[in-house]
Amino acid sequence: MPELPEVETVARGLRQTILGRRILSVTLGKTDFIDDPSAVEQHLPGRQIEAVERYGKFMLLRLSAVTGEARTATNGDAVPASLLVHLGMTGQLAPAPAAQPLEKHTHVCLLLDDGRELRYTDPRRFGRIAYLTKTPLAAELTGFGADPLEVGREEFADRICGRRARIKALLLDQSVLRGVGNIYADESLWRSKIHPARLGTKLSRKEAETLRRILQDILQKAIVLRGSSISDFLDAEGQPGEYQRHHRAYGREGKNCYRCKTPIRRAIVAGRSSYFCPKCQPTPRGFAALPSPRRAKERKKITLRRRAAKERREAKENRSASSSSKSQPRESDGW
Pick the piece of the chain touching Zn ion (CB under 5 A) from 50-58, 165-173, 192-200, 259-267: 259-267
Pick the piece of the chain touching Zn ion (CB under 5 A) from 43-51, 77-85, 156-164, 250-258: 250-258
Active-site pick, 47, 54, 57, 226:
57
Report if residue 257 touches Zn ion, rule: CB under 5 A. Answer: yes
57 is catalytic: yes
Contacts from 258-266 at CB under 8 Å and sequence distance 24+?
263/292, 263/294, 265/289, 265/290, 265/292, 266/290
3-state SS class at 224: helix
Active-site pick, 3, 8, 117, 187:
3
Active-site pick, 2, 5, 95, 148:
2
Report if residue 277 touches Zn ion, rule: CB under 5 A. Answer: yes
| Min separation Cβ 281 and Zn ion, Å | 7
297 is catalytic: no
| Min separation Cβ 221 and Zn ion, Å | 20
Residue 271: left if φ>0, alpha if ψ -120 to 50, beta else—which one?
left
Between CA 173 and CA 286, with CA 248 as vertex, the angle to 5 degrees is 55
Active-site pick, 21, 272, 278, 284:
272
Q: Which residue in the set 279, 284, 289, 292 belongs to the binding site for Zn ion (CB under 5 A)?
A: 279
Report if residue 61 touches Zn ion, rule: CB under 5 A. Answer: no
Report if residue 259 touches Zn ion, rule: CB under 5 A. Answer: yes
> How far is residue 225's CA from residue 248's CA, in Å, rounded to a whole number?
15
Q: Which residue in the set 70, 138, 224, 260 belongs to the binding site for Zn ion (CB under 5 A)?
A: 260
Q: Which residue in the set 81, 84, 161, 280 belongs to the binding site for Zn ion (CB under 5 A)?
A: 280
Residues β-bridged to residue 238: none
* Helix, strand and coil in the chain, % to nearest 5: 40, 20, 40
| DSSP H/E element including 106 | strand 106-112
2 is catalytic: yes
Q: Which is nearer to Zn ion, 260 or 315 (CB)?
A: 260
> How far is residue 189's CA from residue 176's CA, in Å, rounded to a whole number?
16
Q: What would the DSSP string read from start to end of 128-171?
A: EEEEE-HHHHHHHHTT--B-TTT--HHHHHHHHHT--SBHHHHH
> What are the residues binding Zn ion (CB under 5 A)?
257, 259-260, 262, 277, 279-280
Residues designated catalytic: 2-3, 57, 272
